[in-house]
């Protein structure tokens, strides 16, 4: 032991020196540094979590955005279809109206024609009757009772299908 330089006083001094170093380093170096490691780890964890959160939020926002776009596109589709339907309706209505108007015009024209025809027939009858009376007077050289005659003619005319009074 002596040859190696063992000396109990030096040994104790070294142990004491080491323990002093240990105590001071523990108090002034390790504790704050470990605290800082923990803090840093906490911060890193926090920021990672934050990133996760932000990412989730972004995903959610995207989802919502997609949903909104879907809704908007659906709405747009609806608007378009509604507009088309309205257009179709309007067209149908216009067509209907046009048809009705045409029908009215046609009706009116028909009435006019009918009336004109009736007038023409009336006139023709009158003339024909007069003519017949004159012709008969000429044939029999005798004036007929005009009133009685007319009745006969009317009867004849009524019997004929074409000039029947309506």
Partner 1 sequence: MAEQKSVPQKKKKGCLGCSLPLTIVIIVVVVALTVIGFLSGAIGQKLFGVQFPSWLNVGVPVVELPAEAVFHIGSGEPVMVWGAQVYPIPITNTMITTWITILVLLIISLIVTRKPRLIPSRIQSLMEFALEWIYNLCKDVAGEKNGRRFFPVVCTIFLFVLVNAWMNLIPGYGSLMVYEHGIEFPLLRGANTDFNTPLALSIVSFVFVTYYGLKNGKFGFVKQFFNVGRFGRGFADLVKGKVKPGCSGMFFGAINIFVSFLELISYFIRLLSFTFRLFGNMTGGEILVLMFLYLFSWAISGSIIYGFELLIGAVQALIFAGLTLVFATMASSVHEEEH
Q: Which spans of this chain sit near partner 1 (rule: CB under 8 A)?
A: 1-11, 13-15, 17-22, 24-26, 28-30, 32-34, 36-37, 39-40, 43
Q: Compare residues 28 and 65 and give the one whose CB is closer to partner 1.
A: 28
Q: Compare residues 33 and 83 and give the one whose CB is closer to partner 1.
A: 33
Of 74, 166, 49, the closest CA to residue 117 belongs to 166
* DSSP conformational letter for 83: H
CB 157 within 8 Å of CB 165: yes
Distance (Å, whole) CA 159 – CA 86: 59
Per-residue three-class SS string for 98-160: HHHHHHHHHHHHHHHHHHHHHHHHHHHHHHHHHHHHHHHHHHHCCCCCHHHHHHHHHHHHHHC
Instruction: State the minimum distance, in angstroms, from the CB of residue 48 to partner 1.
Output: 15
Instruction: State the minimum distance, in angstroms, from the CB of residue 52 to partner 1.
Output: 21
CB 109 within 8 Å of CB 151: no
Instruction: State the minimum distance, in angstroms, from the CB of residue 41 to partner 1.
Output: 10
Instruction: State the minimum distance, in angstroms, from the CB of residue 53 to partner 1.
Output: 21
Q: Compare residues 21 and 131 and give the one whose CB is closer to partner 1.
A: 21
Q: Compare residues 37 and 65 and give the one whose CB is closer to partner 1.
A: 37
Instruction: State the minimum distance, in angstroms, from the CB of residue 45 to partner 1.
Output: 14
* DSSP conformational letter for 163: T
CB count in 10 Å sphere of residue 150 = 16
Q: Compare residues 38 and 63 and give the one whose CB is closer to partner 1.
A: 38
């Amino acid at each position: 032991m002596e040859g190696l330089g063992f000396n109990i006083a030096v040994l104790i001094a070294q142990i004491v020196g080491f323990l002093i170093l240990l105590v001071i380093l523990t108090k002034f170096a390790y504790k704050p540094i470990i605290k800082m490691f923990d803090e840093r780890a906490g911060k890193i964890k926090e920021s990672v979590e934050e990133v996760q959160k932000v990412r989730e939020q972004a995903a959610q926002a995207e989802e919502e955005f997609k949903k909104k776009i879907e809704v908007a596109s659906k709405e747009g589709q609806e608007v378009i279809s509604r507009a088309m339907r309205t257009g179709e309706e309007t067209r149908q209505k216009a067509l209907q109206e046009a048809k009705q108007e045409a029908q009215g015009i046609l009706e009116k024209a028909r009435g006019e024609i009918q009336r004109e025809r009736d007038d023409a027939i009336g006139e023709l009858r009158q003339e024909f009757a007069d003519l017949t009376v004159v012709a008969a007077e000429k044939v029999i050289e005798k004036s007929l009772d005009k009133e009685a005659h007319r009745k006969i003619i009317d009867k004849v005319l009524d019997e004929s299908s074409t000039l029947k009074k309506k």
